[in-house]
Amino acid sequence: MSAKSETAELPLVVAITGASGAVYAVRLLEVLASAGRHVHLMISPSGAAVVKQELDRSINIQQFDPRSLVPGIDPGSITYRHYADFFAPLASGSFLTGGMVVCPCSGSTLSGIAHGASNNLIQRAADVHLKERRKLILVPRETPLSIIQLDNMRRAAEAGAVILPAMPGWYHGVKSVQDLIDFVVARILDQLRVPHDLMRRWGER
């Protein structure tokens, strides 16, 4: 089996934190499930609050049902990990994954990752991905940015993270808000090397 196919068989990690833009995470989970990729999912309390505010979906982070977040999804495509469970496999580098995405990534989560705080499982799993030299994608959705946030992004990038702000492009034939959502999700999928057809690429007819 090739290295590429081995990576494609590994589970992916998605964390939802308390920044605006929960819709990006939901769409990402939809597409990953459709692609047959298994996801280990973590949600912070603030992330759950944003999901409720922005999408009007109430999720219980103590007894989580994936369908409460992504209606119609196969529950077997997601393994839920409580954000405070340091005994979860994600806390160890010996647990292999194909990459991790924090989407959306709040300023406090960014700070914790940039400084190696490991205050919860989300930050610890991100730290594991950095130390193991695995793909870590951070999706901040904040504007304007303070010098502190910019410095935290620089620190995380220097440590090996990919900083992928939720900044949709307009060159792919935008006709709806969904097109803008799909643009950001498509860029995340590209970083994870997950095939998709969410958008028309530059240069394609």
On whether the CB atoms of residues 97 and 40 are closer than 8 A, the answer is yes
Q: Which DSSP string do the residues of 166-203 spell out, in sequence order?
A: ----STTT--SHHHHHHHHHHHHHHHHT----SSPPTT
SS3 readout for 1-27: CCHHHHHHHCCEEEEECCCCCHHHHHH
Query: For the chain, which residues score pLDDT lower than 70?
Result: 1-7, 205
| pLDDT of amino acid 165 | 98
On whether the CB atoms of residues 144 and 165 are closer than 8 A, the answer is no
pLDDT digits (tens, 9 = 90+) for 116-163: 999 999 999 999 999 999 999 999 999 999 999 999 999 999 999 999
Give the CATH superfamily of 3-192.
Answer: Flavin prenyltransferase-like (3.40.50.1950)
Helix axes 22-34, 177-192, angle to 10 degrees: 60
| pLDDT of amino acid 1 | 46
| pTM (whole model) above 0.85 | yes
